[in-house]
Amino acid sequence: MSEVLIIGSGLGGLECGALLSQEGIRVRVLEASNQPGGCMQSFRRGGLHYDTGLHYVGGLAPGQALHSAFVRLGLMELPWQRMDEDFDYVIIQGRHFTFRQGYDAFMHGLANDFPHQREALQSFVHRLQHVTAADMEVCAYDYLRQIFSDELLLNVVSAAAMKTELRPESLPLFNFAHTCSSYIESSWRLRGDGNLLVDKLVDTIRSAGGEVLTNSKVVSLTEKEGRAASVVCSDGRSFEAEYFISDIHPASLCRLTEECPSVRKSFRRRMTSAQNTCGMFTAQLRLKPGALRYFGHNVFIYNEPNVWTMAEDNSPVKGVMLSARVPDEGIDDGDCSLRQMDLLTPMPWHECEAWKDTRVGHRGDGYKALCRQKTEQCLALAEQYIPGLSGMVEQCYTSTPLTYRDYLGSPEGGAFGMRKDCRMPMLSFHSVTTPLPNLLLTGQSVVLPGIEGVTMTAFETCSKILNKTKEN
């Protein structure tokens, strides 16, 4: 029986582990922290679970982008809650717009607000459904400027893309389209916390005889005769395998392979010199019982007309996303109280760099003041949609790019992995292969961020191993 060792237990690593386990391959996953899941994990405070990065998922209906993949992984068995037909609300300088589920409904809904742009919207929706690898070389912002003559509409269709880093000079259309399209197909939230998804994948691995080991930080990888041979953990344990998958940041992987002569300098340079995407600031709110009813849509609020400048300098906060947590008891009774809501906004690394040498819980009063200020600014924007929200808050927990760095090992707290650049597609989009033929990559830094992108990459990574094992 072949054996695969996976470094890191983010979504990509666990999906690879589950897929390979289903094929009879023995899997061992090594995770540095004390719980698996990466951005999919949740944490418990005051009797409630709070999600780290899972807010909503697109394309889970039959025939859509993620449905068959999630069926294969057993994830469709989880309690998914379909969101409202008007799944995203956009507010730009006080003007309100809605995104409807389904490509035709999405197009017609916006065409009601922008009737002079109906043909442009039809062309845009068609492009979303037919994105190709060639779009890696197309600048998303330039494409939008060419197709939409109305500057406001350009920003409206971009406003819900806070799920990636909007950089007007470099974001590939390939990334922008994938970020938007599956959510337009259909949008879903999980009734329960992200650990439901993590636990399902871990159970698939363990039920097939595999292992998921936490507190197992890999500090080096060795090669033998041009192939990856073993890894060593910080506590001295060593593990061998036939194949290895890295679900950690590629720059971190390069540090583990310093003693591997087959890992060429050009590969190291490419991975370690790549820029990282911006991070996120999140204020996770615990609301007073009965203060607010659950709403099955997201809200994106901007106080400036150009949403594409969000990631450049977000001090003070220019825009915020509101994401409501589905109540654990469900929403079937039609009158359910909302207990948890997240407020998210992009946060560049330089805003918290002054505390880069500190650790969690020991960052000082200046850092706490920054988090309070960010929270207040996010709440002020959110109150454009929910007046009096500040008075409904019972407790608030915050996270910054430093939190992502310390808990998830993300360099500079980047929320979307390594930055992709349409001007340099060969350098910023990566293959799952490495100079070591039995060492493969997975995760959001390879091609696409987000649940869809990571899942697509996991299937590609596993196909390389499965094809080899079938040949043998």
Mark residue 22 as left, alpha or beta (left: phi above 0; alpha: psi -120 to 50; beta: remaining): alpha
Report how far apart, in Å, the C-alpha atoms of 408 and of each of 38, 46, 273, 321 are.
Answer: 6, 22, 20, 22
pLDDT tens, residue by residue, 16-59: 999 999 999 999 999 999 999 999 999 888 888 999 889 999 99
Q: How is the chain split into domains, by residue range? A: 3-54+193-275+423-471, 278-415
**pLDDT less than 50: residues of the chain:** none
Q: Dump the DSSP string for 289-311.
A: TTSSB--SSEEEEESSS-GGGTT
Q: For the whole model, what pTM was predicted?
A: 0.95
Architecture of domain 3-54+193-275+423-471: 3-Layer(bba) Sandwich (3.50)
DSSP state of 48: E
- Here the tokens at position 230 are 């073993």
Residue 386: predicted pLDDT: 98
Pairing of strands 26-30, 211-213: parallel
Residue 315: predicted pLDDT: 74
Beta carbons within 8 Å of 209's beta carbon, 6+ residues apart: 21, 26
Give the separation between CA 234 and CA 111, rounded to whole angstroms: 57
For residue 370, what are the β-bridge partners? none
Residue 314: predicted pLDDT: 64
Asked if 104 and 112 count as a contact pair (C-beta separation under 8 A), the reply is no
Residue 407: predicted pLDDT: 87
